[in-house]
Amino acid sequence: MASKKYDEENEDFLPSPEDEMLYEQALRRLRLEIDKGRTYDQACKSIAGIEGKLQDDIGEDFLRIIIAERHFGEGYGIDDLALLLDVSYDKIEVIRDYMLRDIGNSLTREKRRLVSTATH
């Protein structure tokens, strides 16, 4: 089965089963590398065999996942994550702030949807 091309405007993007498996395997590989004490860049090199744009997307998704798990879930400070991953403090802070804005926007959209359906 051929995968659909990635389109940032298309929120209904559904990867093929093969792409989904590749994505999950790459995330597991990145997590394993970080757990071994590798930096973020070193971990990303472990998935170098994946096509360029997809590799970049997986790496960025993984960074967001680690920030969500360790900062929001486990209480790691941004400075601790920056040291652990060898990623700049500013980059982690920008990603964290983006994630918070995205959550806020999602909650606002959901609230509007609920209010709209309750009043009509």
Cβ atoms of 48 and 58 within 8 Å: the answer is no
- CA dihedral (105, 111, 114, 116) positive or negative: negative
3-class SS string, 97-109? HHHHHHHHHHHHH
22-40 mean pLDDT: 95
> Which of 10, 104, 8, 100 lies closest to 112 in space, CA to CA?
104
pLDDT at position 116, please? 82
pLDDT in tens, 39-96: 999 999 999 988 888 899 999 999 999 999 999 999 999 999 999 999 999 999 999 9
Q: Which amino acid is residue 32, in one-letter code? A: L
Other Cβ atoms within 10 Å of 109 Cβ, number? 10
